[in-house]
Structure 1
Amino acid sequence: MADLIIRPATEADLPAVGSVTVEAYRVDGFLDGTDDYADHLADAASRFRDAELLVAVDGASGEVLGSVTVVLPGTHYAEISRQGELEFRMLAVAASARGRGVGEALVRAVLERARAAGVPHVVLSSSEKMLAAHRLYERLGFTRLPERDWAPLPGVNLVAYAYGMPL
Protein backbone atom coordinates (compact mmCIF):
# COMPACT_ATOMS: atom_id res chain seq x y z
CA MET A 1 0.00 0.00 0.00
CA ALA A 2 1.87 3.05 -1.29
CA ASP A 3 0.09 5.65 0.83
CA LEU A 4 0.64 3.78 4.12
CA ILE A 5 3.27 4.88 6.64
CA ILE A 6 4.35 2.66 9.55
CA ARG A 7 6.02 4.62 12.34
CA PRO A 8 6.33 4.80 16.12
CA ALA A 9 3.23 6.24 17.74
CA THR A 10 3.27 9.75 19.16
CA GLU A 11 1.32 11.03 22.13
CA ALA A 12 -1.03 12.75 19.70
CA ASP A 13 -1.88 9.34 18.17
CA LEU A 14 -2.93 7.72 21.44
CA PRO A 15 -6.67 8.55 21.45
CA ALA A 16 -7.01 7.23 17.88
CA VAL A 17 -4.96 4.12 18.68
CA GLY A 18 -7.19 3.28 21.64
CA SER A 19 -10.33 3.88 19.61
CA VAL A 20 -9.16 1.86 16.59
CA THR A 21 -8.06 -1.03 18.79
CA VAL A 22 -11.38 -1.27 20.63
CA GLU A 23 -13.31 -0.86 17.37
CA ALA A 24 -11.31 -3.62 15.64
CA TYR A 25 -11.92 -6.13 18.44
CA ARG A 26 -15.59 -5.15 18.74
CA VAL A 27 -16.30 -5.30 14.97
CA ASP A 28 -14.80 -8.77 14.84
CA GLY A 29 -17.03 -9.90 17.71
CA PHE A 30 -14.26 -10.31 20.30
CA LEU A 31 -15.75 -7.82 22.76
CA ASP A 32 -19.19 -7.40 24.21
CA GLY A 33 -20.61 -4.50 26.18
CA THR A 34 -19.52 -5.98 29.51
CA ASP A 35 -15.95 -6.91 28.59
CA ASP A 36 -13.29 -5.29 30.83
CA TYR A 37 -10.74 -6.09 28.12
CA ALA A 38 -12.10 -3.10 26.16
CA ASP A 39 -10.66 -0.77 28.82
CA HIS A 40 -7.29 -2.52 28.49
CA LEU A 41 -7.38 -2.18 24.69
CA ALA A 42 -8.37 1.49 24.93
CA ASP A 43 -5.39 2.27 27.18
CA ALA A 44 -2.91 3.14 24.43
CA ALA A 45 -1.08 5.47 26.83
CA SER A 46 0.12 2.52 28.93
CA ARG A 47 1.30 0.64 25.85
CA PHE A 48 3.08 3.79 24.66
CA ARG A 49 4.82 4.08 28.03
CA ASP A 50 5.63 0.41 28.70
CA ALA A 51 6.25 -1.03 25.20
CA GLU A 52 6.88 0.04 21.63
CA LEU A 53 3.68 1.12 19.94
CA LEU A 54 3.70 1.25 16.15
CA VAL A 55 0.99 2.86 14.06
CA ALA A 56 -0.06 2.59 10.45
CA VAL A 57 -1.22 5.96 9.17
CA ASP A 58 -2.66 7.11 5.89
CA GLY A 59 0.13 8.98 4.12
CA ALA A 60 -2.25 11.61 2.74
CA SER A 61 -4.51 12.34 5.71
CA GLY A 62 -2.41 11.18 8.67
CA GLU A 63 -5.38 9.13 9.93
CA VAL A 64 -4.42 6.22 12.22
CA LEU A 65 -5.50 3.05 10.41
CA GLY A 66 -4.02 0.47 12.76
CA SER A 67 -1.50 -0.30 15.45
CA VAL A 68 0.53 -3.04 17.07
CA THR A 69 2.31 -3.31 20.42
CA VAL A 70 5.87 -4.69 20.37
CA VAL A 71 7.27 -6.10 23.60
CA LEU A 72 10.42 -7.72 24.96
CA PRO A 73 10.48 -10.78 27.25
CA GLY A 74 9.97 -10.05 30.92
CA THR A 75 8.38 -6.65 30.35
CA HIS A 76 4.93 -5.53 31.42
CA TYR A 77 3.04 -6.56 28.28
CA ALA A 78 4.97 -9.77 27.57
CA GLU A 79 2.87 -12.93 27.71
CA ILE A 80 4.80 -15.80 26.11
CA SER A 81 8.13 -14.40 24.91
CA ARG A 82 11.43 -15.77 26.14
CA GLN A 83 15.03 -14.68 25.81
CA GLY A 84 15.90 -14.23 22.13
CA GLU A 85 12.32 -13.45 21.14
CA LEU A 86 10.30 -10.37 20.34
CA GLU A 87 6.56 -10.51 20.95
CA PHE A 88 3.71 -8.52 19.52
CA ARG A 89 0.24 -7.96 20.85
CA MET A 90 -3.00 -6.15 20.11
CA LEU A 91 -2.64 -5.98 16.34
CA ALA A 92 -5.61 -3.90 15.24
CA VAL A 93 -6.84 -2.45 11.95
CA ALA A 94 -9.70 0.04 11.61
CA ALA A 95 -12.78 -1.49 9.98
CA SER A 96 -12.62 1.18 7.27
CA ALA A 97 -9.05 0.13 6.36
CA ARG A 98 -9.59 -3.63 6.15
CA GLY A 99 -8.34 -5.29 2.99
CA ARG A 100 -5.72 -2.61 2.31
CA GLY A 101 -2.70 -4.50 3.66
CA VAL A 102 -2.51 -2.58 6.94
CA GLY A 103 -2.29 -5.65 9.18
CA GLU A 104 0.35 -7.25 6.99
CA ALA A 105 2.40 -4.04 6.91
CA LEU A 106 2.31 -3.82 10.70
CA VAL A 107 3.40 -7.46 11.13
CA ARG A 108 6.20 -6.96 8.59
CA ALA A 109 7.31 -3.89 10.59
CA VAL A 110 7.53 -6.06 13.72
CA LEU A 111 9.62 -8.62 11.82
CA GLU A 112 11.90 -5.82 10.63
CA ARG A 113 12.26 -4.54 14.21
CA ALA A 114 13.34 -8.01 15.29
CA ARG A 115 15.84 -8.31 12.42
CA ALA A 116 17.32 -4.89 13.17
CA ALA A 117 17.72 -5.80 16.85
CA GLY A 118 19.29 -9.16 16.01
CA VAL A 119 16.42 -11.02 17.66
CA PRO A 120 15.93 -14.33 15.80
CA HIS A 121 12.34 -15.13 16.77
CA VAL A 122 8.99 -13.34 16.95
CA VAL A 123 6.12 -14.84 18.96
CA LEU A 124 2.50 -13.98 19.65
CA SER A 125 -0.67 -15.25 21.27
CA SER A 126 -4.01 -14.97 19.54
CA SER A 127 -7.54 -15.95 20.47
CA GLU A 128 -8.43 -19.29 18.96
CA LYS A 129 -11.35 -17.44 17.33
CA MET A 130 -9.21 -14.93 15.39
CA LEU A 131 -9.08 -17.04 12.25
CA ALA A 132 -8.45 -14.17 9.81
CA ALA A 133 -5.40 -13.14 11.84
CA HIS A 134 -4.18 -16.74 11.89
CA ARG A 135 -4.38 -16.89 8.09
CA LEU A 136 -2.27 -13.72 7.88
CA TYR A 137 0.35 -15.06 10.28
CA GLU A 138 0.60 -18.38 8.46
CA ARG A 139 0.83 -16.67 5.07
CA LEU A 140 3.76 -14.61 6.40
CA GLY A 141 5.61 -17.72 7.60
CA PHE A 142 4.55 -18.03 11.24
CA THR A 143 4.04 -21.55 12.54
CA ARG A 144 1.96 -22.80 15.43
CA LEU A 145 3.68 -23.12 18.77
CA PRO A 146 1.14 -25.36 20.58
CA GLU A 147 3.34 -25.96 23.62
CA ARG A 148 2.80 -22.29 24.54
CA ASP A 149 -0.98 -22.19 24.07
CA TRP A 150 -2.63 -20.93 27.24
CA ALA A 151 -5.83 -19.61 28.82
CA PRO A 152 -5.67 -16.33 30.79
CA LEU A 153 -9.28 -16.88 31.92
CA PRO A 154 -11.62 -19.87 31.80
CA GLY A 155 -13.04 -20.10 28.29
CA VAL A 156 -10.48 -17.68 26.81
CA ASN A 157 -8.10 -19.91 24.86
CA LEU A 158 -5.04 -18.39 23.23
CA VAL A 159 -2.96 -20.11 20.58
CA ALA A 160 0.70 -19.31 20.10
CA TYR A 161 2.62 -18.65 16.90
CA ALA A 162 6.33 -18.22 16.19
CA TYR A 163 8.42 -16.85 13.37
CA GLY A 164 12.06 -17.84 13.18
CA MET A 165 14.44 -15.74 11.13
CA PRO A 166 17.97 -16.38 10.04
CA LEU A 167 20.32 -13.73 11.41
Structure 2
Amino acid sequence: LKCLPVYISYATKSGYENSNIYKVEIPDNEFGIDMTVDITLKPIMPIITEKEVILQPIYFEFNRSNITAEGAAVLDKLVAVMNEYPEMVIFAKSHTDSRGSDSYNMKLSDRRAKSTVQYLISKGIAKERISGQGFGESEPKVACKSCTEEEHAQNRRSEFLIVKK
Protein backbone atom coordinates (compact mmCIF):
# COMPACT_ATOMS: atom_id res chain seq x y z
CA LEU A 1 0.00 0.00 0.00
CA LYS A 2 1.49 3.28 -1.13
CA CYS A 3 0.71 6.51 0.70
CA LEU A 4 -0.30 9.49 -1.41
CA PRO A 5 1.07 12.90 -0.48
CA VAL A 6 -1.48 15.29 0.98
CA TYR A 7 -1.19 19.01 0.37
CA ILE A 8 -2.98 21.49 2.57
CA SER A 9 -3.87 24.86 1.14
CA TYR A 10 -5.74 27.94 2.21
CA ALA A 11 -6.34 31.32 0.67
CA THR A 12 -6.62 34.83 2.07
CA LYS A 13 -7.39 38.18 0.50
CA SER A 14 -7.96 41.57 2.07
CA GLY A 15 -11.69 42.31 2.36
CA TYR A 16 -12.59 38.61 2.21
CA GLU A 17 -13.11 35.89 4.82
CA ASN A 18 -10.29 33.36 4.98
CA SER A 19 -10.99 30.14 3.13
CA ASN A 20 -11.44 26.74 4.66
CA ILE A 21 -8.45 24.48 4.55
CA TYR A 22 -8.49 22.22 1.52
CA LYS A 23 -6.77 18.85 1.67
CA VAL A 24 -5.83 17.54 -1.74
CA GLU A 25 -4.46 14.06 -2.38
CA ILE A 26 -2.12 14.00 -5.37
CA PRO A 27 -2.19 10.69 -7.27
CA ASP A 28 1.10 9.00 -8.09
CA ASN A 29 2.13 10.18 -11.55
CA GLU A 30 5.55 9.64 -13.10
CA PHE A 31 5.11 12.62 -15.46
CA GLY A 32 4.18 15.11 -12.78
CA ILE A 33 0.84 16.79 -12.59
CA ASP A 34 -0.48 20.34 -12.81
CA MET A 35 -3.39 20.83 -10.54
CA THR A 36 -5.83 23.68 -10.11
CA VAL A 37 -8.05 23.97 -7.08
CA ASP A 38 -10.83 26.57 -7.13
CA ILE A 39 -11.27 28.30 -3.80
CA THR A 40 -14.24 30.58 -3.31
CA LEU A 41 -13.77 33.41 -0.84
CA LYS A 42 -16.73 35.23 0.71
CA PRO A 43 -16.40 39.00 0.80
CA ILE A 44 -16.69 40.57 4.22
CA MET A 45 -19.90 42.52 3.95
CA PRO A 46 -20.86 45.23 3.39
CA ILE A 47 -18.61 46.54 0.64
CA ILE A 48 -19.07 50.20 -0.27
CA THR A 49 -18.08 51.14 -3.82
CA GLU A 50 -18.63 54.43 -5.62
CA LYS A 51 -21.91 53.15 -7.06
CA GLU A 52 -23.39 50.67 -4.60
CA VAL A 53 -23.46 49.10 -1.18
CA ILE A 54 -22.89 45.39 -1.69
CA LEU A 55 -24.46 43.22 0.97
CA GLN A 56 -24.90 39.53 1.31
CA PRO A 57 -27.82 38.64 -0.93
CA ILE A 58 -31.29 39.42 0.40
CA TYR A 59 -33.31 36.64 -1.10
CA PHE A 60 -37.07 36.54 -1.12
CA GLU A 61 -39.18 33.44 -0.90
CA PHE A 62 -41.01 32.39 -4.05
CA ASN A 63 -44.04 34.61 -4.70
CA ARG A 64 -43.46 36.61 -1.48
CA SER A 65 -42.45 40.19 -0.71
CA ASN A 66 -41.99 40.04 3.06
CA ILE A 67 -38.56 40.56 4.63
CA THR A 68 -37.35 37.31 6.16
CA ALA A 69 -35.41 37.18 9.44
CA GLU A 70 -32.26 36.48 7.43
CA GLY A 71 -33.01 39.43 5.14
CA ALA A 72 -33.58 41.68 8.17
CA ALA A 73 -30.15 40.79 9.56
CA VAL A 74 -28.55 41.81 6.25
CA LEU A 75 -30.60 45.01 5.99
CA ASP A 76 -29.48 45.92 9.52
CA LYS A 77 -25.95 46.14 8.07
CA LEU A 78 -27.22 48.65 5.49
CA VAL A 79 -28.80 50.64 8.33
CA ALA A 80 -25.39 50.71 10.06
CA VAL A 81 -23.69 51.91 6.85
CA MET A 82 -26.29 54.63 6.35
CA ASN A 83 -25.89 55.73 9.97
CA GLU A 84 -22.13 55.89 9.44
CA TYR A 85 -22.62 57.98 6.26
CA PRO A 86 -25.45 60.37 7.20
CA GLU A 87 -25.48 62.02 3.74
CA MET A 88 -25.82 58.71 1.88
CA VAL A 89 -28.97 58.24 -0.20
CA ILE A 90 -29.83 54.75 -1.46
CA PHE A 91 -32.00 53.45 -4.29
CA ALA A 92 -33.14 49.84 -3.76
CA LYS A 93 -33.70 47.73 -6.87
CA SER A 94 -35.81 44.62 -6.31
CA HIS A 95 -36.08 41.71 -8.71
CA THR A 96 -38.02 38.49 -9.29
CA ASP A 97 -37.26 35.18 -10.90
CA SER A 98 -38.63 34.46 -14.37
CA ARG A 99 -41.69 32.47 -13.28
CA GLY A 100 -45.00 34.28 -13.67
CA SER A 101 -46.09 36.91 -16.16
CA ASP A 102 -44.03 40.04 -16.77
CA SER A 103 -46.76 42.28 -15.34
CA TYR A 104 -47.23 40.13 -12.23
CA ASN A 105 -43.47 40.05 -11.62
CA MET A 106 -43.24 43.82 -12.00
CA LYS A 107 -45.90 44.25 -9.29
CA LEU A 108 -44.27 41.61 -7.05
CA SER A 109 -40.82 43.22 -7.34
CA ASP A 110 -42.36 46.62 -6.60
CA ARG A 111 -43.88 45.17 -3.40
CA ARG A 112 -40.43 43.79 -2.53
CA ALA A 113 -38.84 47.19 -3.06
CA LYS A 114 -41.53 48.83 -0.90
CA SER A 115 -41.09 46.33 1.93
CA THR A 116 -37.31 46.83 1.78
CA VAL A 117 -37.74 50.62 1.96
CA GLN A 118 -40.31 50.31 4.77
CA TYR A 119 -37.97 48.09 6.77
CA LEU A 120 -35.16 50.65 6.57
CA ILE A 121 -37.52 53.48 7.54
CA SER A 122 -38.74 51.40 10.51
CA LYS A 123 -35.10 51.23 11.65
CA GLY A 124 -34.78 55.02 11.71
CA ILE A 125 -33.56 55.84 8.19
CA ALA A 126 -35.22 59.06 6.97
CA LYS A 127 -37.62 58.41 4.08
CA GLU A 128 -35.79 61.06 2.00
CA ARG A 129 -32.66 58.85 2.09
CA ILE A 130 -34.15 55.63 0.74
CA SER A 131 -36.30 54.89 -2.29
CA GLY A 132 -36.90 51.78 -4.31
CA GLN A 133 -38.40 50.33 -7.44
CA GLY A 134 -39.21 46.90 -8.78
CA PHE A 135 -37.64 45.67 -11.98
CA GLY A 136 -39.51 42.38 -12.29
CA GLU A 137 -37.60 39.76 -14.20
CA SER A 138 -35.99 42.30 -16.56
CA GLU A 139 -32.49 42.16 -15.00
CA PRO A 140 -31.73 38.57 -13.96
CA LYS A 141 -28.54 37.94 -12.02
CA VAL A 142 -28.40 34.47 -13.56
CA ALA A 143 -29.63 34.29 -17.14
CA CYS A 144 -31.02 30.80 -17.56
CA LYS A 145 -33.74 29.20 -19.66
CA SER A 146 -34.66 26.25 -17.48
CA CYS A 147 -33.41 27.55 -14.16
CA THR A 148 -32.66 25.44 -11.11
CA GLU A 149 -34.28 26.40 -7.80
CA GLU A 150 -30.96 27.93 -6.72
CA GLU A 151 -30.76 30.05 -9.88
CA HIS A 152 -34.36 31.22 -9.40
CA ALA A 153 -33.50 32.15 -5.78
CA GLN A 154 -30.48 34.20 -6.91
CA ASN A 155 -32.73 36.21 -9.22
CA ARG A 156 -35.18 37.04 -6.39
CA ARG A 157 -33.09 39.75 -4.77
CA SER A 158 -32.60 43.41 -3.86
CA GLU A 159 -29.60 45.58 -4.73
CA PHE A 160 -28.62 48.95 -3.26
CA LEU A 161 -27.33 51.72 -5.50
CA ILE A 162 -25.76 54.84 -4.04
CA VAL A 163 -27.56 57.94 -5.31
CA LYS A 164 -25.53 60.28 -3.09
CA LYS A 165 -22.54 59.55 -0.88
Q: TM-score, normalised by structure 1?
A: 0.34
Structure of larger gyration radius: 2
Q: Which has the higher strand share?
A: 1
Q: Which has the higher helix share?
A: 1
Q: TM-score, normalised by structure 2?
A: 0.34
